[in-house]
């Protein structure tokens, strides 16, 4: 047997050869990558605006290209070493779905509760009578935003991850929830807590309303229609000046604690939270409160999402994603299953919207553009379709990463995009290894 | 007593007449085979019986203890003249127009498998069987989220039923494997096990032996017989493996060009000159 045949018989080995270009090859490839980077970054970062004029920044593209060259060279040379090759192989291995052995979820459950407890207790360590973090307001705002995205990710995960229905207009339900609170307060004086069930119900109804026309659609067609739906909602909010205030937006008051406001001085002399408890006023209280409330709601929703996966409806969603015709042949009403997926997914979006409005104090249509939908979808895809821990981690990563990169604001979107590209190359299935629950079998029964 | 009564069934796809006045009867507790050359319309009959196609003409009646059910109505066809004469027919038509669908055939007790296996490949074997029991488990959202005793009991019962069918089809040790990972023969069995989880009266198997080796085919024959004998299931199957058909079926219906050309016991059908013509392409049927 000669060598080419052998190579053909062992595709894995052949691939390994192709990925090991040798020293000279590595240098050549790195030079090529650096050259392409130079061409790309030349116009992108070589010119800087200055008032009405611009000036050349010749060093910026060279630096970036040099970074790309070094990175590529190190990567290729690293892949040459045994350790690097092994690491690379591990990273590029397609993740295999693991089935947990029945009744072995205890450690995961303990870990989840631990993270939850840490997230609840953590802020108290940064804000107590003995120590007060100077920048806690900002930290809490980021944490609140993260939690809202976790909420949205969990909701969209039902529609996209479990039921397999690509929804590009999820932001519409978020908007419905936010406006349900803002407008409900303006016209009927609804409080924040009353608005949560209302926002969830309205968003759920919007979800079902969207589901009806798309019952027979799949894939690209479904994506386009949902995209249109998201835009319709935004345009209505933008253009119905008399009702929604249009682009001027609507004020949405911050939530109150059993009727106590979080303000320095109460409205019309009403008692405020800090006066009632005899604490010195601090703007942190309000965000602290929202954070804890949101933590409770998100926790409850995460538990619900985990349970849903093990309930008949969750299994029906997944079955629908796998094969709709087989579902029908088993007596599963695919219409109801799809409607419930859209409805329940939208409800989570509505709750997220109410919290968004309450924490921002103001809503306007500019918060609900398509880019938000894309962001939420990115969370679900990065987290791994259908995985709840993955979605939580991805929501945190995609919210906190841009915040951390604020100091490099010029390159923020560049790094963000780079991370996404790297993820899609190495882990197209998302952060988490797909995991399914194993069930105990009970042999010895007679089928009936 | 007949379980399924197909009469005058006609179906066209555009200008092609797939079925022309097909009629046959499936007796309760028997194994009926539907055979015929490729393109004879066997799968079309199946799709009509299992509620996936709405025939242009004809009736398919499922006789159940609680009354006969017209399967062709389930998909909610257009209003006909006589619907306006009787309010009952009118409201039935309206009901099925709004909430009708293929799933109602399954709920009425007609289960099926597919020629090209349709499993929930990304789910485990056990989850496949639990998903099939969707209508029998506790679907209340709150009790599921809170994990009430009633919910746990229903789930346990579902697992028990699934385990029993897995044991029946010798798939028990694969319960927690992904369905898509199973070897071909086991996938075929899993599809049958999944169909049995809805406790059907009539099980329709579309080429159950396709792609199986002789030993697996022999095992399949055993399972099909046991389904009939021990579990009282009536079977309707499409099959190309004549050895299997002649061995297990009580009644054979032969289709060719969308028409029933012969029906009877395997022995009768085997001698039928029209069948020989259809299969062997003889010009003159020899006596």
B134 and A447 within 8 Å at the Cβ level: the answer is no
pLDDT of residue B134: 92
Comparison of pLDDT for B214 and A3, the residue scoring more: B214
Round to whole Å and give the CA distance between A267 and A251.
Answer: 16
The H or E element that residue B251 is part of is: strand B251-256
Task: Give strand pairing partners of A99.
Answer: A436
Interface of A with B (CB under 8 A): 97, 99, 101-102, 303-304, 307-308, 311-313, 315-316, 318-319, 321-323, 325-335, 436, 438-448
pLDDT of residue A446: 76
Round to whole Å and give the CA distance between A231 and A247.
Answer: 14
State whether residue B96 sits within 8 Å of chain A by CB.
Answer: no
The answer for residues whose C-beta is within 8 angstroms of residue B11's C-beta and 6 or more apart is B17, B18, B19, B41, B44, B48, B53, B55, B56, B57, B258
pLDDT of residue A419: 77
The alpha-helical segments, DSSP class H, found in A252-333 are 273-277, 284-309, 312-322, 324-329
Round to whole Å and give the CA distance between B147 and B149.
Answer: 7
Q: Provide the token pair at B218.
A: 């022999």
B137 and B130 Cβ atoms separated by less than 8 Å: yes
A438 and B176 within 8 Å at the Cβ level: the answer is yes
State whether residue B227 sits within 8 Å of chain A by CB.
Answer: no
Mutate to test the interface with B, among A103, A311, A325, A387 (most CBs of B within 10 A): A311
ipTM exceeds 0.85:
yes
pLDDT of residue A102: 65
Q: List the single residue in B50, B122, B167 with the smallest CB-CB distance to A329.
A: B50
pLDDT of residue A103: 61
Q: List the single residue in A316, A327, A442 with the smallest CB-CB distance to B160.
A: A442
Query: Does residue B230 carry a pLDDT above 50?
Result: yes
How many CB pairs lie under 8 A apart between chains A and B? 154
Mean predicted confidence (pLDDT) in B49-66: 90
DSSP A279: P
Round to whole Å and give the CA distance between A80 and A67.
Answer: 20
Mutate to test the interface with A, among B43, B112, B126, B168 (most CBs of A within 10 A): B126
**Residue indicated by tokens 């306006």:** B84
With contacts defined as CB-CB under 8 Å, which chain B residues touch A446?
164
pLDDT range class, residue B287, cuts 50, 70, 90:
low
The H or E element that residue B63 is part of is: strand B57-64
A405 and A411 Cβ atoms separated by less than 8 Å: yes
With contacts defined as CB-CB under 8 Å, which chain B residues touch A447?
161, 164-165, 167-168, 196, 231
The answer for residues whose C-beta is within 8 angstroms of residue B283's C-beta and 6 or more apart is B277
B134 and A439 within 8 Å at the Cβ level: the answer is no
Render the burial of B61-82: b for 16+ CB within 10 Å, e for the rest.
Answer: bbbeeeeebebbbbbbbeeeee
CA distances from B231 to B5, B112, B222, B237 (A): 21, 16, 13, 17
A312 and B133 within 8 Å at the Cβ level: the answer is yes
Report residues of chain A scoring pLDDT below 70: 1-21, 93-95, 102-105, 269, 448
pLDDT of residue A13: 43
Smallest CA–CA separation between B116 and chain A, in Å?
11
A312 and B104 within 8 Å at the Cβ level: the answer is no
Q: List the single residue in A311, A327, A331 with the smallest CB-CB distance to B107.
A: A331
pLDDT of residue A94: 66
Mutate to test the interface with B, among A95, A200, A331, A433 (most CBs of B within 10 A): A331
**Residue indicated by tokens 């590595």:** A26
Q: List the single residue in A319, A436, A441 with the smallest CB-CB distance to B166.
A: A441
A311 and B139 within 8 Å at the Cβ level: the answer is yes
pLDDT of residue B195: 95
Mean predicted confidence (pLDDT) in B83-106: 85
Comparison of pLDDT for B265 and A18, the residue scoring more: B265
Smallest CA–CA separation between A118 and chain B, in Å?
24
A441 and B114 within 8 Å at the Cβ level: the answer is no
Q: Provide the token pair at B34.
A: 């539907």
Smallest CA–CA separation between A71 and chain B, in Å?
38
**pTM of whole model > 0.95?**
no
Give the pLDDT confidence of B172-213 residue by residue, as tens digits. 999 999 999 999 999 999 999 999 999 999 999 999 998 899
pLDDT of residue B251: 94
With contacts defined as CB-CB under 8 Å, which chain B residues touch A97?
122, 178
């Amino acid at each position: 047997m000669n060598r080419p045949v052998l190579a053909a018989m062992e595709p894995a080995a052949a691939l390994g050869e192709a990925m090991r270009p040798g020293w000279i090859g590595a240098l050549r490839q790195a030079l090529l990558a650096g050259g392409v980077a130079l061409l790309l970054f030349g116009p992108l970062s070589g010119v800087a605006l200055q008032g009405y004029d611009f000036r050349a920044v010749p060093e910026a593209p060279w630096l970036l290209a040099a970074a790309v060259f070094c990175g590529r060279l190190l990567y290729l040379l690293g892949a040459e070493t045994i350790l690097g090759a092994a690491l690379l192989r591990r990273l590029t291995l397609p993740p295999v779905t693991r089935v947990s052995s029945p009744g072995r979820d205890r450690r995961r459950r303990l870990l989840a509760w631990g993270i939850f407890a840490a997230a609840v207790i953590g802020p108290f360590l940064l804000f107590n009578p003995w120590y007060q973090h100077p920048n806690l307001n900002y930290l809490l705002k980021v944490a609140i935003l993260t939690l809202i995205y976790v909420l949205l990710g969990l909701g969209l995960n039902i529609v996209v991850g479990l039921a397999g229905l690509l929804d590009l207009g999820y932001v519409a339900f978020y908007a419905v929830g936010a406006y349900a609170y803002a407008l409900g307060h303006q016209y009927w004086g609804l409080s924040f807590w009353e608005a949560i069930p209302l926002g969830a119900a309205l968003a759920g109804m919007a979800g079902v309303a969207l589901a009806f026309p798309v019952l027979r659609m799949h894939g690209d067609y479904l994506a386009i229609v949902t995209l249109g739906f998201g835009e319709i909602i935004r345009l209505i909010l933008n253009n119905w000046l008399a009702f929604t205030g249009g682009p001027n937006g609507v004020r949405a008051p911050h939530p109150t604690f059993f009727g106590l406001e979080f303000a320095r001085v109460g409205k019309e002399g009403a008692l405020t939270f800090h006066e009632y408890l005899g604490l010195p006023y601090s703007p942190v209280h309000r965000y602290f409160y929202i954070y804890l409330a949101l933590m409770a709601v998100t926790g409850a929703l995460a538990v619900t999402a985990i349970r849903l996966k093990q309930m008949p409806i969750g299994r029906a969603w997944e079955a629908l994603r796998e094969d709709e015709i087989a579902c029908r042949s088993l007596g599963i009403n695919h219409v109801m299953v799809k409607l419930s997926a859209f409805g329940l997914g939208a409800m989570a979006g509505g709750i997220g919207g109410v919290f968004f409005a309450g924490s921002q104090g103001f809503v306007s249509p500019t918060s609900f553009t398509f880019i938000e939908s894309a962001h939420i979808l990115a969370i679900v895809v990065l987290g791994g379709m259908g995985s709840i821990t993955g979605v939580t981690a991805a929501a945190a990563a995609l919210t906190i990463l841009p915040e951390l990169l604020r100091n490099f604001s010029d390159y923020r979107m560049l790094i963000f995009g780079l991370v996404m590209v790297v993820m899609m190359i190495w882990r197209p299935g998302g952060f988490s290894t797909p995991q399914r629950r194993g069930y105990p079998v009970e042999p010895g029964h007679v089928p009936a | 007593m007949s379980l399924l009564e197909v009469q005058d069934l006609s179906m066209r796809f555009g200008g092609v007449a797939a079925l022309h006045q097909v009629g046959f009867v499936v007796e309760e507790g028997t194994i009926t085979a539907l055979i015929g050359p490729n393109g004879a319309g066997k799968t079309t009959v199946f799709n009509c019986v299992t509620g996936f196609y709405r025939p242009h003409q004809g009736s398919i009646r499922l006789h159940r203890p609680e009354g006969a059910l017209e399967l062709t109505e389930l998909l909610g066809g257009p209003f006909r003249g006589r619907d306006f004469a009787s309010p009952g027919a009118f409201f039935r038509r309206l009901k099925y127009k709004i909430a009708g669908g293929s799933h109602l055939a399954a709920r009425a007790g007609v289960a099926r498998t597919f020629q090209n296996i349709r499993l929930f490949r990304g789910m485990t074997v056990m989850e496949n069987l639990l998903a099939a029991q969707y209508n029998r488990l506790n679907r209340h959202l709150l009790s599921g989220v809170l994990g009430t005793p009633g919910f746990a009991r229903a789930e346990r019962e579902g697992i028990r039923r699934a385990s029993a069918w897995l044991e029946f089809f010798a798939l028990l040790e694969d319960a927690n494997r992904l369905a898509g990972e199973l070897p071909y023969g086991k996938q075929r069995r899993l599809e049958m096990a999944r169909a049995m989880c809805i406790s059907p009266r009539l099980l329709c198997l579309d080429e159950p032996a396709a792609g199986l080796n002789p030993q697996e085919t022999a095992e399949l024959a055993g399972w099909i017989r046991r389904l009939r004998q021990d579990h009282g299931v009536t079977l309707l199957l499409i099959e190309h493996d004549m050895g299997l058909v002649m061995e297990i079926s009580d009644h054979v219906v032969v289709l060719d060009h969308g028409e029933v050309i012969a029906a009877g016991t395997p022995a009768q059908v085997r001698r039928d000159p029209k069948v020989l013509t259809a299969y062997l392409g003889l010009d003159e049927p020899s006596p």
